[in-house]
Amino acid sequence: MEPPTSTAVLRRLLALLPAGRVLDRAAELAAYESDGLTAFHQRPVAVVVPETQDEVVATVRFCRDEEIPFVARGSGTSLSGGSLPVAGGIVITLNRLNKILRVDPDQRIAVVEPGVINLAVTTAAQPYGLHFAPDPSSQSICTIGGNVAFNSGGAHCLKYGMTSNHVLGLKAVLATGEVVEFGGASREQVGPDWTGLFVGNEGLFGIALEITLQLLPRAETFHTVLAGYRTLEQAGDAVAAVIASGLLPGAIEIMDALALEAAVAAVHAEYPPNSEAVLIVELEGPREGVAADRVRLDEILAKSGAVEVKVARDGAERIAIWKGRKSAFSAVGRLSPDFIVQDGVVPRRRLGEALRRIGEMSRAAGLRCANVFHAGDGNLHPLILYNGKEADGLARAEALAGKILRMCVEMGGSITGEHGVGVEKRDYMPDMFSADELDCLKRVRAAFDPLGIANPGKMFPAAEAPVLSQHGLHPLEKAGVISRE
Residue 484 has pLDDT above 60, yes or no: no
Rounded CA-CA distance 114/92 in Å is 12
Q: What is the CATH number of domain 105-217?
A: 3.30.465.10
Whole-number percent of the chain with pLDDT over 70:
94
CA distance 432 to 413: 9
Q: At what angle do helices 232-244 and 351-365 cross, to 10 degrees?
A: 160
Q: Please report the pLDDT score of residue 464 as a whole number.
A: 44
**8 Å CB contact between 269 and 280:** no
Domain 219-420: CATH superfamily is: FAD-linked oxidases, C-terminal domain (3.40.462.10)
| Distance between CA atoms of residues 402 and 399, nearest Å | 5
* Pairing of the two strands 369-374 and 251-256: antiparallel
**246 CB-contact burial (10 Å; exposed 0-12 / middle 13-18 / buried 19+):** exposed
CA distances from 12 to 16, 22, 220 (A): 6, 11, 55
Residue-by-residue DSSP string for 357-411: HHHHHHHHHT--EEEEEEGGGTB--EEEEE-TTSTTHHHHHHHHHHHHHHHHHHT
Using 50, 70 and 90 to split pLDDT, how confident is the model at 469?
very low
At 334 the pLDDT is: 80
Model confidence band, residue 185 (pLDDT cutoffs 50, 70, 90): very high
The pLDDT-based confidence of 462 (bands split at 50, 70, 90) is low
- Tens-digit pLDDT profile for residues 433-459: 999 999 999 999 999 999 999 999 999
Please calculate the CA angle 306-312-314 and round it to the nearest 5 degrees: 170
Phi, psi torsion values for 338, nearest 5 degrees: -145, 150
Q: Is the pLDDT of residue 76 over 70?
A: yes
Beta-ladder partners of 284:
222
CA 93 to chain centre: 17
Strand-pair partners of 285: 221
Q: What is the CA radius of gyration of the chain?
A: 23
Domain locations along the chain: 105-217, 219-420
Cα separation values, 177 from 44, 69, 206, 297, 391, Å:
21, 13, 9, 53, 44
Q: How far is residue 200's CA from residue 421's CA, in Å, rounded to a whole number?
A: 10
Residue 130 has pLDDT above 80, yes or no: yes
pLDDT at position 183 is 96
pLDDT digits over 256-297, tens only?
888 888 887 777 777 787 788 999 999 999 999 999 999 999
What's the whole-model pTM score? 0.89
Backbone phi, then psi, for 162, in 5-degree steps? -95, 180
Question: How far are the Cα atoms of 18, 84, 144, 185, 389 from residue 394, in angstroms, in the given order?
Answer: 41, 18, 31, 46, 9
Q: Tens digits of per-residue pLDDT, 193-250?
A: 999 999 999 999 999 999 999 999 999 999 999 999 998 888 988 998 999 999 999 9
Does the structure show a pLDDT above 60 at 377? yes
Distance of alpha carbon 213 from alpha carbon 122, whole angstroms: 11
Between residues 349 and 27, which one has the greater pLDDT? 27
Give the C-alpha separation, 29 to 116, whole Å. 23
**Calpha distance 87→77 (Å, rounded):** 20
Q: What average pLDDT does this structure show over 305-310?
A: 91
Q: Which H or E element spans position 59? A: helix 53-66
Type and span of the H or E element at 60: helix 53-66
More confident: 397 or 325 = 397
Instruction: Give the list of residues 6+ apart from residue 252 with CB closer than 8 angstroms, or none.
Output: 158, 239, 242, 243, 279, 280, 281, 282, 374, 375, 376
Rounded Cα distance between 66 and 471, Å, is 12
Q: What was the pLDDT predicted at 311?
A: 92
Would you say residue 6 has pLDDT above 50? no
Do 105-217 and 219-420 have matching folds? no
Contacts 24+ apart (CB under 8 A), 284-288: 284/159, 284/219, 284/221, 284/222, 284/223, 284/249, 284/250, 285/219, 285/220, 285/221, 285/250, 286/220, 286/221, 287/220, 287/221
What's the pLDDT band for 116 if we cut at 50, 70, 90?
very high
How far apart CA 121 and CA 212 sit, in angstroms, is 11
Residues 124, 105: Cα–Cα separation, whole Å: 11
Cβ pair 75, 192 in contact under 8 A: no
Phi and psi (nearest 5°) for 399?
Answer: -65, -40
Q: What is the mean pLDDT of the chain?
A: 89
Least confident of 137-141, 386-390, 478-482: 478-482
